[in-house]
Amino acid sequence: MVIEFLKSSPLLLELVRAFIAILLALVFVLVNAIIFIYLERKVWARVMQRMGPTYVGKWGILQLIADLIKVLGKEIIVPAKANKFAFLSLPIFSTGLALALMIVVPFDYIVAYTLAALEPIYHGFVIFKYTVVSNSFSSGLFLIFALLTLNPVFILLIGWISNNKYTVVGGFRAAAQLLSFEIPLLISLASVIILAGTFNLYEIVEKQSKIWFVFLLPLAFILFLITAIAEAERTPFDIPDAESEIIAGWNTEYSATPFMMLIFGMYVRAIISAALISILFFGGWHGPELPGFLKPITGPFWLSVKIYFFMFLLILIRSAYPRYRIDQLLSISWTKLLPLSLINIILVIFVKYLSISYGII
Amino acid sequence: MSQNFLDHIKSLLPYAEVHLIYKNKAYAKVPKEYWIDSAKKLKSAGFTLLSFVSGIDRLNSIEVIYACRKPEGNGLVIVGTIIDRNNPRIPSLITVWEGALWHERETFDLLGIYFEGNPDMRRILLPDEWVGHPLRKDYKW
Amino acid sequence: MVNMQQEVRTLTINVGPQHPSTHGPMDVIVTIEGETIINADIRLGYIHRGIEKLCETRYYFQIPAYLSRLCYVSGMFWEYGFVRAVEEIMGVKVPERAQWLRVISCELTRIASHLIWLAAYAADLGLLTGLSWGLRDRDRIIDALEMLTGQRMMFTYMVFGGVRYDMPAGFQDTVEKSLKYVESHLPDWEKLTIENPIFRARTENLVPVSASYAIELGWTGPMLRACGVKRDLRRDEPYDVYETLDFEIPTGKRGDTLDRVYVRIEEIKQSIKIVRQAIKRIPSGPYQHRALLYPPPGIGYGYVEDSRGECGYFVVSDGTPRPYRVKIRSPAYVHVMSLPKLIKGIKLADLYAVLGSFDPCLGEIDR
């Protein structure tokens, strides 16, 4: 009956489909965040020559689920001097921000095309007919900029509201680091926008059907890789939450569920970094066609492979390098990355002229 | 070899009773007035590395000691002087060796010897509010 | 707390007593302005056990068991120093096999101590991979020591006039296997630390100390050698059979934090070399000399080149079965003393890089 009603109103049907698409993409990313954390523990353990989790489930697959249940069962400790309302609500905003980024990044492409490939199974259920939401953001990259720029504000607030010296130091570090890295990040992204001539992530991917942008803009890729690691606050740029220096920095005072949300937000940001690298520079879902019955999921397959490759790269970088100092980091940002990104902007003009005249984009 | 070393120390510190502990390890007992002088002389003679400063409770007096050695080559000199047990005060070695700072703090903490001229005469190993000096023989615990 | 109304520009932070990077319960009270340290003070004594006083109340043969607790990663040296001081007063001649066994056990302990330092130091800089690697390599060395002494940490292996146990059968093979294992990982260690660009950026030219100032402060061991002074008690004031052994003394050039890492990694290599020679050349014979239970009146100073520097014991004996006074000379105590002077003006993050490079072992600092 509900389906009959939905069929009668196309707008409502479209809204429900969009909602389902977002929900599925959300679930997809959250599941991937869990896989990422598991992968990090396992891969890093192998680099360290340990085993990593082994006891819960086969190869310790269920370890993260067990940890999740454990963390949810813990007591939420609010520092006596902290503002309770702000202390408990800020992780929600911070994590929500990271999740909002996800709608713009075409994760729902993977979900939607996989669903389309499965159509023979659920044939007839019209509401499952796929809809992609993220292609409708004509200024998707612009929205990503905006959401990324909001992030330091929340981290600084979290550090401040916890009312602890270590969190304050961590908050200031985060603010300094993220603000100074945003400029080279944005300028290196601007070169992609200039080359593709659009803000829409879908169109950027489609422009790469002939050649991946990494071959046209290698400098921009390197700059983006470095700044994306810094934005995700991962080693060697995990200065704001350095455990061995300022005891987890801005999230020192958090425990139980709010802490888990903050950590989850950080991992989601890392996944988004990996996804953006593969979408902006490595041709997104473009790749050799898969044989046989796998043909319909060629796009989702290649996009997932690329995202996982960069996740793996982030893990290996984390396991091989120590941490920079905050002043070294800032000087890298202002004296090396910023001039390089400006040079890159000049280069992209020539690259665009040449690639249009050779007809490769 | 050992005899040469002993003679060398004796000529450096003419006012001291010097005897060998072991080969190339000498013990020199100096009068209190020559405490700083002995340190300066030894330092200029190449014993530039201060090993430690400490004290021994001799029940009716307190002996303050310091040990210094040559950073290149062989040789250790332990210098001791006897001071009053009830008012144990001695000039600080910090004017000679910068590294005497914490050794003297520790000696003050555990034996109650006050080093005049040390800028940082606080307890170090025991809490600030501790009463008594544990390495004295009459300390009750 | 942070009070904005009074326009507070500085912030006083207690780094410790519980902090992952102080290597034990030590409190470094730093005043920072932004990220720059403008003042520092150190509070010690959180694990002061009064071992010097304890020694005055125990029989001589009971004491080495307490002393191996002084430093839980290089306990062998600490019992050895005391045993040497007492043997000096007694005038005991140690059998040759015992001297070789002492060299082997001490050098193995040095490797283990340096490895655990590397592990902790890598973790200080955020390189957690190093933490795991250090523990992995050290475990093999500890296995060899366990075979020799029956213990993994608190060895109590040295006795007056020799060592407690003889070398068990098959010990040579175990040692060789352990050394090979450690040696095979040393190139990886160099890549991970002294050749790692970010590691270098963090440690190079950080708090350089000149040779003369290091001597003025009383530094010894790897810290002094990193400043360019070729000083090693094993060579300069040789004890046991070190005179007959062939090894080099690595020194640094600039005296900065990177040199301290370099010197310690080189020392691991030299120790491996020494153990290999000693295992080959060890003579047969008695491993223990029946010594008197306690020494005659006198004073003695026993020193050992510890993994951190000069570990010394000043022992005063009055002819009773208990020592009259035992003064423990701890190298890490002297090194940590110079920390407040050296860290003024550097960044907060560098505090951990500098403090870690001093190899502070709170067991021997607090005593």
Distance in angstroms (rounded) separating the CA atoms of residues A214 and A58:
38
Q: Does C248 touch chain B (CB under 8 A)?
A: no
Residues of A with CB under 8 A from a CB of C: 44, 47-50, 81, 163, 165-166, 168-169, 173, 235-236, 238-239, 242-247, 319-328
CB contact (8 A) between residue C337 and residue B24: no
Distance in angstroms (rounded) separating the CA atoms of residues C162 and C105:
12
pTM for the model stands at 0.87
CB contact (8 A) between residue C301 and residue B22: yes
Option in C129, C136, C202 nearest A319 (CB): C129
Q: Does B56 touch chain C (CB under 8 A)?
A: yes
CB contact (8 A) between residue A48 and residue C21: no
Measured over the CA atoms of residue C336, residue C340, residue C343 and residue C348, the dihedral's sign is positive
Q: Find how far residue A338's CA is from the centre of its chain.
A: 23
Q: Rounded to a whole number, what is the distance in Å from the CA of A157 to chain C's nearest CA?
A: 14
Option in B49, B106, B124 nearest C218 (CB): B49
Q: Does B26 touch chain C (CB under 8 A)?
A: no
CB contact (8 A) between residue B98 and residue C217: yes
**Candidates B21, B48, B107, B113, partner chain C, best to mutate (most C CBs within 10 A):** B21
Q: What is the pLDDT of residue A297?
A: 76
C-beta neighbour count of B106 within 10 angstroms: 26
Option in A49, A173, A326 nearest C136 (CB): A49
Using CA atoms, how far residue A42 sits from A105, A119, A240, in Å, is 27, 35, 24
Candidate CATH numbers 3.40.50.300, 3.30.300.20, 3.30.460.80, 3.40.50.150; the one for domain B2-116: 3.30.460.80
Q: Rounded to a whole number, what is the distance in Å from the CA of C212 to chain B's nearest CA?
A: 9
**Candidates A161, A166, A167, A244, partner chain C, best to mutate (most C CBs within 10 A):** A244
Determine which of A85-89, A137-141, C72-76, C143-147 has the lowest per-residue pLDDT on average.
Answer: A137-141
**CB < 8 Å to C198, chain A:** 236, 321-324
* Tens-place pLDDT, residues C2-37: 555 555 678 888 887 888 888 888 888 888 887 888
Those residues with Cβ within 8 angstroms of residue B38's Cβ, 6 or more apart along the chain or in another chain? B13, B16, B28, B30, B79
Element (H, E) at C13: strand C10-15
Distance in angstroms (rounded) separating the CA atoms of residues A186 and A89:
29
Residue A278 has phi, psi (to 5 degrees) of -70, -30
CB contact (8 A) between residue C11 and residue A48: no
Using CA atoms, how far residue A201 sits from A103, A208, A275, B45, in Å, is 12, 11, 11, 77
Q: What is the pLDDT of residue A245?
A: 78
Structure tokens at C294: 């306690």
Chain B residues 65-104 with CB within 8 Å of chain C: 65, 67, 71-74, 76, 78, 97-99, 101-103
Tokens 């002492």 belong to: C102
Candidate CATH numbers 3.90.1150.10, 3.90.245.10, 3.40.50.300, 1.10.645.10; the one for domain C56-329: 1.10.645.10
**CB < 8 Å to C219, chain B:** 99
Q: Rounded to a whole number, what is the distance in Å from the CA of C268 to chain B's nearest CA?
A: 23
* Tens-place pLDDT, residues C104-118: 998 999 999 999 999
Q: Yes or no: say if C319 and C296 are a contact pair by the CB < 8 Å rule.
A: yes
Q: Rounded to a whole number, what is the distance in Å from the CA of C205 to chain A's nearest CA?
A: 13
CB contact (8 A) between residue A322 and residue C199: yes
Alpha carbon distance, N-terminus to C-terminus of chain A = 48
**CB < 8 Å to C136, chain A:** 49
Helices of type H across C1-62: 51-56
Q: Does B28 touch chain C (CB under 8 A)?
A: no
Residue type, A344: N
Q: Rounded to a whole number, what is the distance in Å from the CA of C197 to chain B's nearest CA?
A: 34
CB neighbour class for C186 (10 Å; exposed up to 12, middle 13-18, buried from 19) = middle
Those residues with Cβ within 8 angstroms of residue C292's Cβ, 6 or more apart along the chain or in another chain? C90, C92, C160
- The full length of chain C comes to 367
Chains with 3 or more CB pairs under 8 A to chain B? C
Kindly list the domain boundaries of chain C, sorted by start residue: 1-48+348-362, 56-329
* Tens-place pLDDT, residues C186-225: 998 888 888 888 888 888 888 888 888 888 888 888 988 8
Q: Rounded to a whole number, what is the distance in Å from the CA of B29 to chain C's nearest CA?
A: 13
List, as one string, the DSSP characters of A156-173.
Answer: HHHHHHTT-HHHHHHHHH
CB contact (8 A) between residue C218 and residue B51: yes
Helices of type H across C168-243: 171-192, 197-203, 211-217, 221-226, 233-236
Q: Yes or no: say if A177 and A230 are a contact pair by the CB < 8 Å rule.
A: yes
In total, how many domains does chain A have?
A: 1
Q: Is the peptide bond before C238 cis (omega within 30 degrees of 0)?
A: no
CB contact (8 A) between residue B125 and residue C299: no
Option in C50, C218, C366 nearest B134 (CB): C50
**Chain C residue with minimal CA distance to B47?**
C215
Option in C301, C303, C337 nearest B99 (CB): C337
More confident residue, A198 or C182: C182
Option in C312, C334, C366 nearest B99 (CB): C334
CB contact (8 A) between residue C348 and residue A165: no
Give, for all 361 residues of chain A, the pLDDT tens digit.
666 776 677 777 777 777 777 777 778 778 888 888 888 888 888 888 888 888 888 888 888 888 888 888 888 888 888 788 888 888 888 888 888 877 777 777 777 777 777 767 766 565 556 666 666 677 778 888 788 778 888 888 888 888 888 888 888 888 888 888 888 888 888 888 888 888 888 888 888 887 888 888 888 888 888 888 887 778 788 877 777 777 877 888 888 888 888 888 888 888 888 888 888 888 878 777 777 777 777 778 888 888 889 888 888 888 888 888 888 888 888 888 888 888 888 888 888 888 888 877 6
Tokens 């190093």 belong to: C130
Containing structural domain, residue A288: 2-358
Residue C249 has phi, psi (to 5 degrees) of -110, 105
Chains C and A touch (3+ CB pairs under 8 A): yes
Tokens 């879908």 belong to: A202
Helices of type H across chain A: 2-8, 10-47, 63-72, 84-104, 107-117, 140-161, 165-196, 201-207, 213-216, 218-231, 243-246, 256-280, 298-320, 326-331, 338-358
Q: Does B135 touch chain C (CB under 8 A)?
A: yes
**CB < 8 Å to A247, chain C:** 19-20
